[in-house]
Structure 1
Amino acid sequence: MFSSVSNEDSDGGEGLSIEDAQAENRNLYAALNPEDITRVTPDSRAMKTKKLVSQCILECISLDRELGLKMLAAFRDVWLAISERNSDKEAQTMEEYLKHRSDNGGMLVFWPMLQFSLGMSLSEAEEALVQPIIDAATEGLLLANDYFSWEREYRELQSGQSKRIVSAVDLFIRTKGFSIDDAKDAVKQKIIEAERSFCQRRDELYNNHPDISLKLRRWIDCAGLAVSGNHYWCSACPRQNAWKDVDSANGNGVKRKLSHGTVVSKQEAPMKKRKDSSLLDSEPSDSESGLSEVSSYSFYKPSGLALEAPSKYVSSMPSKGVRSTLIEALNTWLHVPSGRIKAIMSVINSLHNASLILDDLEDNSPLRRGFPSTHILFGQAQSINSANFMFVRAVQDVTQNLSPAALTAVLEELEGLYLGQSWDLYWKHNLACPSESEYVNMVDHKTGGMFRMLLRLMQAESDLTPQLDFHRLTLLFGRFFQIRDDYMNFQDYTAQKGLCEDLDEGKFSYPVVYCLENFPEYRGHFLGVFRQRPTVATVDAHPLSRESKQHLTACLKKSGAFEKTMACLTDMERDLEVEIDRLEQQTGEANPMLRLCLAKLSVKGIAKIGEYPTVANETSVKSLFWAQQQQSVQPECLVHVRSAEDVAVVVSTSHTTRCPFAVRGGGHSDIQGASNIDGGITINMAGLRDVILDEHEGFVGVGAGATWGDVYSQLDQMNKTVVGGRLTGVGVGGLLLGGGLSHLSGLHGWACDNVRGYEMVLANGSLVIASESSNSDLYRAMRGGGNSFGIVTRFDLDVFQQGPMWGGLHVWPLLPSVTSALTRGFVKFAHDAPSDPHVSLFAGLGYKQGSFAWATGQYDSLGRVEPSIFTQFKDDVDVYGTAKLVSTARVTSVSDLADELNQSEPAGMRSRFTTATFTADEELLALMVDIFVEQVQNALHLGLHEDERFAPMLGYQPLTQNLLKAQATRGGNVMGLDDNEAPLVICSFGWEWSHESDDTTVIAGIKAVLERSVSAAKERGLYHPFKYMNYAAKDQDPIGSYGTKNIEFLKRVRELYDAEGVFTTLAPGGHKITRVTIDIE
């Protein structure tokens, strides 16, 4: 009924004058408004409309109250309120037309109507995720209506039945001068493009989100059916086609009356009858042969989509991957063939995920790793059914792919797992607190059983079957893993699963067991609260009040339960290290992967329960930052984090309190407020500076608080390196988030192109991995997209073999002959670089203590002394007109070369960098030198001559073709550069000075150099819009230079992962996707 009303209002409005159409809309708007008190006469059209609509509303709400009201609101507030607005304005472009047509054509309410008809409710996040697909569908729907309705509308306009035409065909005729036939063809092509775009966007979404929910897949399918169904309906419906038969008759002379009571000739009898006739000619029908319609259906296996949806959902959640890592680590000793290892991993993952589904359901837990638990989304029955199926599939996998001994191991350990879980549930249901030994025994079977199972599976499939005793290793691992989880549940970071969720569940975890066993005076406190908690999954779970949790946590603190738990974990971690030592000695083979697995779970860096952030003071803040501007910022609170979980605490706290925060990685930014914040929370990441090498996988995990000096000092010892920064004091995080130029970029691209994975804290406090295989859209966005999406706590970087390098600085005085030779040599190098990707170069002109000087940095990663590509930079008096002042070139370590450059940028100065990018051109680079020298001399004249530390610099960094080709690794980054544009030059204008009083003079000088250089480049056709984020000033917009496609992608990712804008509003520092203005010059 609503669709009939809307169609009348939409299409019928075209037959009215603007004023009449708007009056009809007002009547319908009032009828749809439950609070309308307008007085109308009983026989008026408005009253009749109101009665009809009231009946429609009642019937819709009786079917589905929530969706009915949503549809009603869409009619009233979204559509009718604007449908005839600006109806008197003719669109001049297709974009304007589609916006207007979507408003007055009812598309703003069509989709809520479709959701109502399907009984489907979508969240705002789900709506946003599929909106690009729906936009394409909307365009196809609107244009199909225009295409098939044109003849009717045109005839009605000419006959006077209609007063206007609103159609894309008319738009092309008016604005393009097309004939009617050409205009219809143009509309037809736009329809095809819209439908093709729908398919492309749908496929892209499925590729980026392979585990997208069954509900959203169904919604997208229905949207596609709506497009195709509308297309067919428009082509054949009486409304759009009755004009064809006004003056013509069909083949037998009988006119067709196409209306609600359609009349057809005998030759046009119903299709079913003709079909039945053909069947009678060939073979008896089912009814004649004695079979009912139901009996005739063939047997087939139904789709597994519904069955597998819960399991796919839980497996898509972020995971530490401990079990998979442990399997790979143990295989260092057991040497199980890769095919059987894959089968074992599949079995363990299926069983583990099944146990998670059942565990959450039995504990009535609403969250799992920051996401709704499976039974919350799919219901209890469906979740149980899928979990049971996962057990069946696991047993099938073992039977088909592994040995009988493996099947025995699975069944025996499953029995143990169920035994352990039974006691966990029994204690909770009966409010019976176990003893410590009983609790540990339960853990040995429930948690330890899975570790024991994977080991027994590997032993059953090992070709070597070594006589090694792993019993104590798996026993300790299971206990350590579970008790650590018990401890961590009391940390604030458990926003991933819920703050102190074990208390919500009434669970007797290790700290609780210790407290109640040793301090009976607290027994009544815990049992009194637990007694009031729901004990079955059929009862809605509600978390305990914060006050209750704080009281019970205080009881645990007073009893020393947390200290006892931490001491227990520390002892077990030490015992595990001893056990690994024993096995390594017994096998004669070191196992760094197993040690890495333990290191990731280590409790050595975990904050103690009850520890609070350090209150900031001026001295502690100042020492953390490189530039004066950052040092002068005073946060209200300085948090020294020591784990990713600590970071999640701050994010969750900021989210709740709306207190702004900033993230300090290496502290090397010169932008005030970039990584420090006035009156808010500054997160100091320096406690996250571990550098852990995984030789087997070929990557190094680097904490986000590390500097490149931390990384190189460790990797140099192993003759390895990464594509990283060129200064030891620069932070790993800052460089990688903005792109990152390196001595190895000629071979491997930007530093960000060599990040294998990001461990990140998201806006909801959850901890995820972004990589090619997990959260792939977020992974791509992080490669140059800045800090708009989350806080990175660890970077996994590709590792390369690296011996000593050759490199150093070469210095000349500023002379016209030197400038000419260097700019010529620089441009030649930029063109020749693809011939030798092992080298790198930068050049700069600087001023210090009364004189100007040129410097180049020349480097070779193979350790070759002055390779031939650097011939033009040799110490040649005939070419340069003078000798070099200094050359520090030598064969040395990566660390030593990075430390040399770091010494050229002392801390404590005021600093400002800005940037521009140009096509490599000798004349332009030389002209920029003249502009730079002129502005420096002007600044000196205005008082900077008194500042002995005044050090302005003009820097040139080539972007060569080989570098831009190499950036395509793992799908490419988001910076929008193409290797066909090379060679380019990134110019950095970086000035350093001592006193705030000189800020105005310095900033004016930098601005003049930048603006005059850009103007000269544009005059010569050499300007490129790209702005390198790591050199960009606060008032520049590097993301806006990435191109429209990348910008729209980044906006979608930001909306998907941080719809509330936590990292763009509460963390204002840095260049944000929400503050973009596109630079297309």
Structure 2
Amino acid sequence: MRAALLLLLLPATLSRADTCSTIATTTNVDVAYPISLDYISEQNKYWSTSCIALKPSCILFPTSAADVSIILQTINEGDESFAIKSGGHNPNNYFSSVDGGPLISTARLNEAVLDATTGVLRMGPGNRLDDIAAKLQGSGWTFVGGRIGNTGTGGLILGGGLSYMSAQYGWAASSALEYEVVLANGTIVTASQSENADLARALKGGGNNFGIVTTYTLQTYRQGNIWGGNVIFLHNDEVASNLLRAVRDFTEYNTDDRAAVIVTAERSTGLVIPELIDIELIDTWILFLFYDGPTPPGDIFRNFTEAGVPILNTAKTRTYSELIGGSNWVVIKGSVVTIGTETIPLPSSQDSETVMEGVHAHWREVSGKTLLELGIIASIAYQPFPKSIARQAKARAPDLIDADDEADRLILELNYSFIPQTDYNKMANTLEETYTGVRQRVLGWQEEGILQNVYCPVFMNYGFYREDYWDRLRPESRTFAQQVSAKYDPEGFFRNRTGGWKP
């Protein structure tokens, strides 16, 4: 019986090994096998240990679109699953990780060439946000990226990308002028508004369904010193009410698009933030404040900074590179990470307490049940999604998110990180309970007329694998993505052979 089983497994084993060995023996692409230093180093760069635990048969390190083309043609000859990794910050298993098949790392596709006159940047997906910020430092130009330096640029842009500067310039993807893309059959094409425009649109919020982007051409923007940092409060009911009201009011009333905030509540039974704070039992509010200029207007953040008595305030004038490079303390090493999301309509001022405190009470109830979990850090981040983001995105290029500027919204990021990998399913259920509870409350408030019945897409960059990303987009966007997929990947290579949400 055992011999028969081995014979059944042998073809699959040979198939998995074939891509790695073929690339290693017939090309100049570097191939790293288990136990090698390159393999171990790259495999340990995921944010979540659940992704680290998935072991690819080898890791491939292309340095050009031509290398990626050869790799995809070779993978096409077999039947193994594969994955593409930019920064490895997406914690969903199998989205940028794979078990038993080849992993394509973009780490060496890390060019960054700036035209100092026009601000046009050609950038490879192997860059992380802090890499690009450092490379642009001193140039007078900045890019619309995310908020955590260790984030990979590839996944960020393909998911849309929410930035401190989104109210000024739209999503990170909105500033993508052109893509160099390797299609499923190995063909290398350019996608822009003038060439393969349907593919260019699908890549803005469409994820990894249409090809591997090997170069992004982005418009950057003028920037000098900025002001930003963190303000931290210990939790109490008054601080919570003040901050929830402040983020609601900021989303509706702020008229200075250079200002941005993230309001995060965090609970843990043991958290150390290097150089910031060391508390054994923690129940805090952590504010991320940003102003695209050296000094914010005197009262623009007053409702936040005066919500209580802060125990720490690091906000100051600095370079954007310093801010982004100093943000990586939020990446918790050695933990399983799960992230989910919800988008909610902004409540009116009169209904703020009902909605904002209702959502927050639900989060505290569910997260409170996790506090005995080893290494637990539970957080909810309230992120403004004002009309200006949709307005700026539409002004630059069409995307699949297709947000309208008829209503203000909030994007909620819901995180649970913990240590035991054996508790993954249990904590996944907890995360699902958290975001479905928010959704149910929103639908109920809409039925009661407390909240507007507006379009609220799930934000891909924060989505949990159990959330139906495509179902929450407009039906037209899903249909369009299916058409683009059928045109550029008629055999369903990316649909059937790698992870992620499929249209």
TM-score grouping bracket, smaller chain normalisation: 0.7 to 0.9
Contact 1:754–1:969, Cα closer than 8 Å, also in 2: no
1:843 maps to 2:263: yes
- Structure 2 residue aligned with 1:974, among 379, 396, 400? 400
The residue correspondences of 1:265-664 to structure 2 (distance < 5 A) are: 613-617=31-35, 619-664=40-85
- The alignment status of 1:773 with 2:199, answered yes or no, reads no
Q: Which amino acid aligns with 2:139?
A: M
- 1:895 alignment counterpart: 321
What is the distance in 1 between the residues matched to 2:298 and 2:345?
25
CA–CA distance in 1 between the matches of 2:28 and 2:427?
Answer: 48
Cα displacement (A) at 1:839:
1.0
SS at match of 1:869: coil
Q: Does 1:1058 align with 2:479?
A: no
Alignment partner of 1:997 is 2:422: yes
Q: Which runs of 5+ in 1 are unaligned?
A: 1-549, 551-606, 1074-1081
Residue 861 (structure 1) aligns with:
292
**Contact 1:832–1:869 (Cα < 8 Å) also in 2:** no
Distance 2:368 2:397 in 1: 47
* Compared CA separation, residues 892 and 901, structure 1 to 2 (3 A): same
Partner Cα separation in structure 1 for residue 296 and residue 475 of structure 2 = 44
Whether 2:459 is the aligned partner of 1:1028: answer yes
Q: Which residue of 1 aligns with 2:7?
A: none
Conserved in 1, the CA contact under 8 Å of 2:29 and 2:62?
A: no
Identity rate, percent: 27
Q: Is the 8 A contact 2:168 2:258 kept in 1?
A: yes
Deviation at 1:935, TM superposition (A): 1.9
- CA distance 1:728–1:713, shift in 2 (3 Å): same
With 732-741 and 824-833 compared, the bigger mean Cα shift is at 824-833
Shift of 1:719: 2.1
* Structure-2 residue corresponding to 1:429: none
Secondary structure of 1:717's partner? coil
Once residues 867 and 750 of structure 1 are traced to their aligned partners in structure 2, the CA distance between those partners, rounded to angstroms, is 27
Deviations 1:355-407, CA, capped at 9 Å, x for gaps: xxxxxxxxxxxxxxxxxxxxxxxxxxxxxxxxxxxxxxxxxxxxxxxxxxxxx
From 407, 414, 435, the equivalent of 1:1010 is: 435
Give the corresponding residue for 1:1070.
500
Answer whether contact 1:724 1:742 (CA < 8 A) is retained.
yes
After TM superposition, give the deviation of residue 1072 of structure 1 in Å. Answer: 1.7
Deviation (angstroms), 1:1003: 2.6
Q: How does 1:225-264 map to 2 (within 5 A)?
A: none
CA deviations over 1:621-672 (Å, ceiling 9, x no partner) = 5323221111001111211111111111111011122332110111111011
Unaligned runs of 5+ in 2: 1-21, 271-280
Amino acid of the residue matched to residue 301 of structure 2?
Answer: F
Taking structure 1 as reference, are residues 785 and 728 closer, same or farther at Cα in structure 2, changes over 3 Å only?
same
Closer/same/farther in 2, CA of residues 955 and 641 from structure 1, 3 Å limit: same
RMSD value over aligned CA atoms?
A: 1.9
> What is the Cα deviation at residue 817 of structure 1?
0.9
Aligned to 2:124: 703
Q: How far off is 1:984 after superposition?
A: 0.3
Candidates 911, 922, 936, aligned match of 2:367: 936
- CA distance in structure 2 between the partners assigned to 1:805 and 1:664 by the alignment: 31
Q: TM-score w.r.t. structure 2 length? A: 0.87
Q: Residue type matched to 1:900 in 2?
A: G
Contact 1:787 1:1063 in 2 (8 A): yes
Give the structure with the larger strand fraction.
Answer: 2
More helix by share: 1
Q: Is the CA contact (8 Å cut-off) linking 2:92 and 2:464 kept in structure 1?
A: yes
Q: Retained in 2: the 8 A contact 1:654–1:1066? A: no
* Residue of structure 1 equivalent to 2:177: 756
Asked if structure 2 preserves the Cα contact closer than 8 Å seen for 1:772 and 1:970, the reply is: no
- For the 8 Å contact 1:952–1:991, the answer to whether it is kept is yes
Contact 1:689 1:703 in 2 (8 A): yes
TM-score normalised by length of structure 1: 0.41
Which residue of structure 2 aligns with residue 870 of structure 1?
301
Between the aligned partners of 1:1025 and 1:719, the Cα distance in structure 2 is 36
CA displacement, residues 88-119 of structure 1 (integer Å, 9 cap, x when unaligned): xxxxxxxxxxxxxxxxxxxxxxxxxxxxxxxx
Distance 1:725 1:1025 in 2: 21
Q: How far has the Cα of 1:609 moved from its partner?
A: 5.1
Which amino acid is the alignment partner of residue 938 of structure 1?
K
For 2:414, give the aligned amino acid.
F
CA contact (8 A) 2:86 2:153 kept: yes
Change (3 A) 1:662 1:821: same
Shift, 1:1000, TM fit: 4.1
Does structure 1 conserve the Cα–Cα contact (< 8 Å) formed by 2:47 and 2:331?
no
1:797 aligned residue: 218
2:411 to 980, 986, 989: 986
Q: Superposed, which structure 2 residues align to 1:141-180 within 5 Å?
A: none
Aligned equivalent of 2:149, options 719, 722, 728: 728
- For residue 810 of structure 1, report the CA deviation from its aligned partner: 1.2
Question: Residue by residue, what CA displacement relative to the aligned partner does 1:909-928 show, whole Å, maximum 9, x if unpaired?
Answer: 10111111111232322122
Alignment match of 2:385 (pick from 959, 982, 1005): 959
Deviation at 1:696, TM superposition (A): 4.1
Aligned-partner Cα distance in 2 for 1:666–1:1050: 24
In structure 2, C-alpha distance between the alignment counterparts of 1:1059 and 1:1003, rounded to whole Å: 34
Which structure would you say has the larger Rg?
A: 1
SS at match of 1:686: coil
- Does the residue aligned with 2:439 lie in a helix, a strand or coil? helix
Q: Contact between 1:756 and 1:797, CA under 8 Å: does it hold in 2? A: yes
Amino acid across the alignment from 1:794: T
Per-residue deviation at 1:717? Answer: 2.2
Deviations 1:260-318 (A, max 9, x none): xxxxxxxxxxxxxxxxxxxxxxxxxxxxxxxxxxxxxxxxxxxxxxxxxxxxxxxxxxx
Equivalent position to 2:331, from 873, 892, 905: 905
User: What are the Cα deviations for residues 779-801 of structure 1, in whole angstroms up to 9, with x where unaligned?
Assistant: 11111111110000011110111
Task: Please give the residue correspondences for 1:7-18 in structure 2 after superposition, counting only pairs within 5 Å.
Answer: none
Which residue number in structure 2 is paired with residue 815 of structure 1?
236
CA distance change for structure 1 residues 886 and 650 in 2, over 3 Å: closer, same or farther?
same
Highest RCO, 1 vs 2 (Cα 8 Å, sep ≥ 6): 2
Q: What residue identity is the alignment partner of 2:125?
A: A
Check whether the contact 2:181–2:191 (CA below 8 A) recurs between aligned residues: yes
Q: CA deviation at 1:1008?
A: 2.3
| CA displacement at 1:905 relative to structure 2 | 1.6
Q: 2:355 aligns with which of 893, 908, 924?
A: 924
Partners of 1:728 and 1:654 in 2: CA distance: 32
SS of the residue corresponding to residue 746 of structure 1 reads helix
Task: Quote the Cα distance in structure 2 between the aligned partners of 1:1033 and 1:800.
Answer: 32
User: In the aligned structure 2, how far is the partner of 1:644 from the partner of 1:853?
Assistant: 46
CA deviations on 1:28-84 (whole Å, 9 max, x unpaired) are xxxxxxxxxxxxxxxxxxxxxxxxxxxxxxxxxxxxxxxxxxxxxxxxxxxxxxxxx
Compared CA separation, residues 623 and 1000, structure 1 to 2 (3 A):
closer
Paired residue for 2:477?
1046
Q: Quickly say closer, same or farther: Cα 1:776–1:933, change in 2 above 3 A.
A: same
SS of match in other structure, 1:903: helix
> What is the CA–CA distance in structure 2 between the aligned matches of 1:978 and 1:714, rounded to whole Å?
34
Alignment check: 8 A CA contact 1:977 1:1042 kept: no
3-state secondary structure, aligned to 1:743:
coil
C-alpha distance in structure 2 between counterparts of 1:762 and 1:1000, whole Å: 34
1:665 aligns with 2:86: yes
* Aligned partner of residue 925 in structure 1, secondary structure: helix
**In structure 2, distance between residues paired with 1:890 and 1:717:** 18
Task: For 2:28 and 2:200, locate their aligned partners in 1 and report how far apart those are by CA, in whole Å.
Answer: 34
- Equivalent pairs, count: 455
Amino acid at match of 2:103: T
Deviations 1:154-195 (A, max 9, x none): xxxxxxxxxxxxxxxxxxxxxxxxxxxxxxxxxxxxxxxxxx
> In 1, distance between residues paired with 2:433 and 2:79?
39
SS class of match (1:646) = helix
- What's the offset of the Cα at 1:931? 1.7
Structure 1 residue aligned with 2:444, among 1008, 1014, 1019?
A: 1019
Following the alignment from structure 2 to structure 1, what is the Cα–Cα distance between the partners of residues 324 and 164? 10
